[in-house]
Amino acid sequence: MTASEPAHARVAPAVAVAAVAAPVPATAGSGPAAAGRDRSADQVGPPGTLLSAVELRKRFGETTALDGASMHVDAGEIVALMGPSGSGKSTLLHCLAGIVRPDAGEIHYGGHRLSGMSEAGRSALRRGEFGFVFQFGQLVPELTCAENVALPLRLSGVRRRAAQARAVAALARLGVDDVARKRPGEVSGGQSQRVAVARALATEPRVIFADEPTGALDSLNGEQVMRLLTQAARETSAAVVLVTHDARVAAYSDREVVVRDGRTRTGPA
Amino acid sequence: MTIHSDPAMLPRTNPPGAGRRPRRRHPVRDAPAQLLLGFRLALAGGPTAWLRAAMTGLGVGLGVALLLAAASTPALLDARADRRDARSWLWATGDGQTSALRPADATVLIRTYSTTVRGKDIGGVVLRPDGAHPPIPPGLAAVPGPGQMAVSPALARLLDSRADGPRLATRLPYQRAATIGPQGLTGPNELFVYIGAPGGSSLRDTSGAMGRRIDHFGVPPRGQPMPALLTMLIVVLVVVLLLPVGAFTAGAVRFGAEARDRQLAALRLLGADLPMARRIAAGGALAGALAGCAVGAALFAAGRQLVERVTLFDVSMFAQDVRPDPTLTVVVLAAVPASAVLITLFSLRRVMIEPLGVVRRAARTRRRLWWRCVLPVVGVLLLLPLHAGYVPFSGREQAQLTVGVLATLVGVTVLLPWVVDAVVRRLGAGPASWQLAVRRLQLDSATTMRAVAAISVAVAGAIALQMVFSVAEDASTRPLDGRGDLARAMVGGTGGGDDVTALRGALARGQVGPRTWALAEGTLRSVDRLGADQAGEPLRIALVVADCPTLLRLAETATCQDGDLFLATPAEEQAGGGMRGPAPVVGPDQLASPETARLAAARTVLPGPGVRMRVEDPGAYAADGGEATAMPGWTMAAGAISVTLRTDTPAFVGILATPAAVPADVLAALRPDAYVDLDRRAPGSLDTLRDAVAMVDPLATVSTYDRVAVDPRFAQIRTSMYGGIVVMLGVVGASLLVTMVEQLRERRRVLAVLVAFGTRRRTLAASVLWQAALPMALGVALAIGVGVGLGAALLRMVGQSPAIDWANIGAVSATAAAVALATTAASLPALYRLMCADGLRME
Give residue B572's pLDDT.
64
Q: Is A263 on the interface with B (CB under 8 A)?
A: no
Cα–Cα distances in Å, from B162 out to A243, B117, B157, B168, B690? Answer: 74, 13, 10, 10, 19
**Is B436 within 8 Å of A143 when comparing Cβ atoms?**
yes
- Contact state of A141 with B443 under an 8 Å Cβ cutoff: yes
Give me the DSSP letters along B156-183.
HHHHH-TTTHHHHHHH--SEEEEE--GG
pTM score, whole prediction = 0.64
Q: pLDDT digits over A236-264, tens only? A: 899 999 999 888 999 999 999 999 999 99
Span B293-300, average pLDDT: 92
- pLDDT tens for each residue of A176-211: 999 999 988 889 888 999 999 999 999 899 999 999
pLDDT in tens, B491-546: 988 888 888 999 999 999 988 878 889 999 888 888 888 876 666 788 888 899 99
Q: How far apart are CA B186 and CA B467, in angstroms?
A: 29
Give residue-wise pLDDT tens across range A100-151.
889 999 999 988 898 888 888 888 888 889 999 988 768 888 889 999 999 8
DSSP state of A180: T
Give contacts of A154 with chain B, Cβ < 8 Å.
Answer: 431-432, 435
A46 close contact with B: CB closer than 8 A: no
Total length of chain A: 269
More confident residue, B90 or B362: B90
Chain B residue with CA closest to A201: the answer is B757
Q: What is the pLDDT of residue B309?
A: 85
Question: What would the pLDDT profile of B643-655 be if each residue is shown by its tens digit?
Answer: 888 877 776 788 9
Neighbours of A85 (CB within 10 A): 9
Phi-psi map region of B313: left, alpha, beta (phi>0 left; psi -120 to 50 alpha): left
Alpha-helical runs (H) found in chain A: 7-21, 39-42, 89-96, 119-128, 145-155, 160-173, 189-202, 219-236, 247-250
* Ranges assigned E (strand) in A27-148: 49-60, 63-74, 78-82, 104-109, 112-113, 130-133
Q: Are B591 and B528 in contact (CB under 8 A)?
A: yes
Cα B530 to Cα B208, B526, B579, B608: the distances in Å are 24, 9, 19, 14
Shortest Cα–Cα distance, A152 to chain B (Å): 7
Lowest-pLDDT range of A85-99, B146-160, B680-694: B680-694
Residue A43 contacts residue A27 (beta carbons within 8 Å): yes
Determine the pLDDT at residue A38.
34
CA–CA separation, B836 and B371 (whole Å): 45
d(CA B160, CA B157): 5
Within 13 Å and on the Cβ side, how many CA atoms surround B464?
A: 33
Burial (CB < 10 A; 0-12, 13-18, 19+), residue B212, is buried
Report the distance separating Cα B80 and Cα B315, nearest Å.
Answer: 10
Closest by Cα among A96, A70, A75 to A25:
A75
CA atoms within 13 A on the CB side of A115: 18
B749: nearest CA in chain A? A138
Q: Does residue A124 sit at the B interface (CB-CB below 8 Å)? A: yes
Q: Residue B360 and residue A126: Cβ atoms within 8 Å?
A: no
Q: Which residues pair with B489 in a beta bridge?
A: B676, B704
Beta strand extents in B422-550 (DSSP E only): 486-492, 515-529, 538-545
Which of the given ranges, A72-86, B212-226, B390-404, B467-481, has the highest pLDDT on average? A72-86
**CA–CA distance, B319 with B327 (Å, rounded to integer):** 20
Written as one letter, the residue type at B3 is I
Contact yes or no for A94 and B435 at CB 8 A: no
Interface of A with B in 151-180 (CB under 8 A): 151-152, 154-156, 160
Q: Hey, is B451 helix, strand or coil?
A: helix
Chain B, window 758-787: residues with a beta carbon less than 8 angstroms from a chain A beta carbon: 758-760, 763
Closest residue, chain A, to B760 (C-alpha):
A123
State which amino acid sits at residue B206: T
How far is Cα A90 from Cα B183, in angstroms, rounded to an integer?
71
Interface contact B757-A151, CB threshold 8 A: yes
Angle at A90 between CA A89 and CA A93, to 5 degrees: 90
Q: Looking at this protein, which amino acid is placed at residue B427?
A: L
Q: Which residues of A touch B753 (CB under 8 A)?
A: 132, 134, 138, 140
Residue B232: pLDDT above 70?
yes
**Which residues are within 8 A (CB) of B39 and not within 5 positions of it... i.e. 6 or more apart?**
B283, B284, B286, B287
**Residue B60 to chain A, least CA–CA distance (Å):** 28
Band (pLDDT 50/70/90 cuts) for residue B832 is confident
| Record: contact A147-B439, CB cut-off 8 A | yes
Mean pLDDT of B28-55: 78
Q: What is the DSSP letter of B624?
A: G
Among A26-35, B197-206, B304-313, B382-391, the range with the most confident prediction by mean pLDDT is B304-313
Chain B residues touching A97 at Cβ < 8 A: 756
For the ranges A28-42, B100-114, B735-749, the lowest mean pLDDT is seen at A28-42
Give A132's contacts in chain B (Cβ within 8 Å): 753, 756-757
Domains in chain A, please, with CATH? 12-20+30-266 (3.40.50.300)
Query: What digits encode the pLDDT tens for the residues B582-618?
Result: 778 888 888 888 888 888 887 888 899 999 998 886 5
Secondary structure of residue B306 in the 3-state scheme: helix
Q: Are strands B654-657 and B538-545 parallel, antiparallel or unpaired?
A: parallel
Burial class from Cβ neighbours inside 10 Å (0-12, 13-18, 19+) for residue B14 reads: exposed
Residues B364-396 pLDDT 10s: 566 678 888 888 889 888 888 887 666 667 778
pLDDT attached to residue A163: 92
The closest of B275, B289, B420, B288 to B348, measured between CA atoms, is: B275
- Considering only residues 667 to 686 of chain B, which have any Cβ-Cβ distance to chain A shorter than 8 Å? none
- The pLDDT, as a whole number, for residue B630 is 62
Share of residues in chain B with pLDDT > 70 (%) = 79
3-state SS class at A35: coil
Tens digits of per-residue pLDDT, B92-144?
654 444 446 788 899 888 888 989 888 788 999 999 998 999 999 999 999 99
- Confirm if B432 and A154 have CB atoms less than 8 A apart: yes
8 Å CB contact of B749 and A138: yes
Residue A136 CB: number of other CB atoms within 10 A? 17
Q: What is the pLDDT of residue B518?
A: 92
Q: How far apart are CA B681 and CA B722, in angstroms?
A: 25
Q: Between chains, do B842 and A183 touch, taking CB under 8 Å as contact?
A: no
The Cα–Cα gap between B383 and B330 comes to 31
Mutate to test the interface with B, among A93, A135, A142 (most CBs of B within 10 A): A142
CB–CB of B60/B340 below 8 Å? yes
Give the DSSP letter of residue B584: P
